[in-house]
Structure 1
Amino acid sequence: MSDQLRPRSKRSKQISTLARHGRLKRSNAFANVAKVLAAALAVVMVSGVSVAALATLNVAASVKPAVVLENETDGPMPTIGSIDGGANLLLVGSDSREGQGDGYGDPDEETSVLNDVTMLLHIAEDHSSATVISFPRDTFVPIPSCPNPEGGTFSSMSSQKINTTLNYGGLACTVMTVEELTGLSIPYAALVQFNGVAAMSEAVGGVSVCIAEPIVDEYTDLNLAAGEQELKGLEALQFLRTRHGVGDGSDLGRISNQQVFLSALVRTLKSAETLSDPIKLYSIAKAAVDNMELSTSLQSMDTMVSIAMALKDIPLDKVVFVQYPVFVVDGGVEPDESAAADLIAAVNADVSPTLAPGEADFLSVADPNAAVPAEPVDPAAPVDPADPAAEPTPSESALPSNVYGQDASQLTCSAGRPVEDQ
């Protein structure tokens, strides 16, 4: 898939669908679904009354001004404890370099701010599962009429890339676009920038990922040998940004690479070494809110804690990362409406998606040291009604083969791409 030059206008009204992105150095490829989980767990899990009180005060004082979403209400905030019912939360990664310091490219080289990472976290009504949907940055979608942060509204557009919505109408516009695309209501949202990636990976003490083949990417200055690598700080950011160095060099390959990292991060966050370390937990919470812009609904620490409490006991194999299904078209990708409908139906039904084995060139690979999984059941094979194991469980839903992803229990490795192919 060819790169796209980024639009230079500050308003998406003037963005052309033929615009093409620049080199990867100008693009952020990050979103971290565990940030809200980490921030909330720090307040709940920190041991000792005095430490917990200090953490709450300091973290709360760091929260940035809120972003008002169109569908928010003034209803009562939830009390401490798991949030009632399910929840949808949009996590957006911005490519803005403003105030981000050195190491991320020239802050003056871009005039637009794009959401090059857009992820939707869905928590099931009974808190038994969580699904994280990644929307490819180059997906052509309708953009609704969004509020202008400076007053008034922008006109709707029939087809623009989803990563232009942040520049068009801010975080609220990105939320409205995903709501229109999926039909889901999204009352919670958070925006994170470059420094958030490095700070969060430092706060957890590093994330151990498997590298199947060496990753060398001159666009992000990343050079990783094969084997287990512990990533944190700038190196973690480079790993999440790399596109040329993994898979087939496309943004879809980058999403698969990010899922390797995110699955490892979830395992790290849920490990005893993290949950029993009050200093580490406080550092995670502080790093999260220092580097995030939150919707009004997430400004309350009680709300963050309630969402985290709903997430913390979900089994690893029920935390599923998927890529929104798309077709490759000229200049980008378009939604596969049939496969997307199946995915959203599973989300609406609160079932844990069952993913078909992936065959695409851009996918990460299975960890050769991981236990061999059981052979998948052929849905066309005859079923013995006397065998209860042969009956599909109501909590699972098989998705089309082009809904790619993995769950957090699966051990996968990033597949490096030879330099000569870049």
Structure 2
Amino acid sequence: MNENAVDPDITVALEDGLTPAVITVHGSDRPGVSAAFFRVLASHRVQILDVEQSQFRGRLNLAAFVGLEADRLEVLSEGLEITMQAYGQEVTVELKDHLDQNRPLSTHAVVVLGDPVTASHISRIGQTLADYGANIDTIRGIADYPLTGLELKITVANPRPGGGVGMRKALAALTREIGVDIAIERAGLLRRSKRLICFDCDSTLITGEVIEMLAAHAGREAEVAEVTERAMRGELDFEESLRERVAALKGLDASVIDEVAKSIELTPGARTTIRTLKRMGYRAAVVSGGFIQVLEDLAEELELDYVRANTLEIEDGKLTGRVIGKVVDRAAKAEFLKEFAEDSGLHMHQTVAVGDGANDIDMLSSAGLGIAFNAKPALKEVADASVNHPFLDEVLYILGISREEIDEADRGDGTYRRVPLPEREPVLEDTVPSGENN
């Protein structure tokens, strides 16, 4: 082996007599380009150390880190240029005076979601990352519906636990300032190990608040809604507020429960999200401060693995204004998540929790990944990620699942559909002074 192989940081060794080089090819993509490229390299005893190829909107980029005989550089370059020119490709060959270290693994994934996402947004995000010494390694598009999604793989200068706290806070502040969602998570196997997702129900899995829908039948919707809002902000003890609201339902005919159950509307993207995760081997759960009698049919329809909620007491076909058994409150939600994980044979770092209110704080804090969905400030403060658009599909994008993968699977089993979205007003790019935020 030559002297380039003795660097202790290098795990790939060059064969004797070879010099490291980087060869790049770019141009319009067409069949046969890669085969022709490697055919030329093969004819010149080239050793492959690393390769990366990508295709973007019909444009091909192919790069190879290789070992070659230095005295054959000229003839190799000429052969490549002649061959690749026939395919409409441009070629560069650059010798290296040493072996570069192996390509470092990105430490974090940053997902950007917006409608729209502009160049100004990415400029601001890129500058914030740079301010904290983070390098953007790769960027790829992961969604074009129902909003635009980009995934940035980054390397953080200080990836140790707690080392990125300042950057996370800065990105959270930037989210509020520029109006796009920015989620950051550790990259690697832990990100791909999630296998259980647990949803809050009201205003998360479904669009409304079930107790308010029931209260509307009693003519006390406004009164109950005000108590709900205070509880969700964390201003009231949940159990106390629940009992107060349920008391307002006293005397309602039990048939109202079925009426409300039939009128429930799922949050846009809920079916797609659950269907996609179930395909991937996830277990899915809902834990609700609402009522089991309303959720049972929905849970069966969505094929959820676990369902926990409060139970309304019914006597002689009427609601008594009381709940039966232990109340599903903030602490109980976290306990149920742990119960589901244990039953599934999973560790807590393999769980995802999604919710919107203060009642979900313990659950999101216990999960491996806690996602605040159009949430109250109290929950956003403790969540790992926060999304502020009304589409549950965003959860999939935060997990690194692309729209292309979702749609391909849906086409395969006949569930593919895209609901037309309302047209939005065109958004003009913010003007960024020359030389700023580069």
Normalised by the size of structure 2, how large is the TM-score?
Answer: 0.26
**Larger relative contact order (Cα-Cα within 8 Å, sequence gap ≥ 6):** 1
Larger Rg: 2
Larger proportion of strand: 2
Normalised by the size of structure 1, how large is the TM-score?
Answer: 0.27
Larger proportion of helix: 2
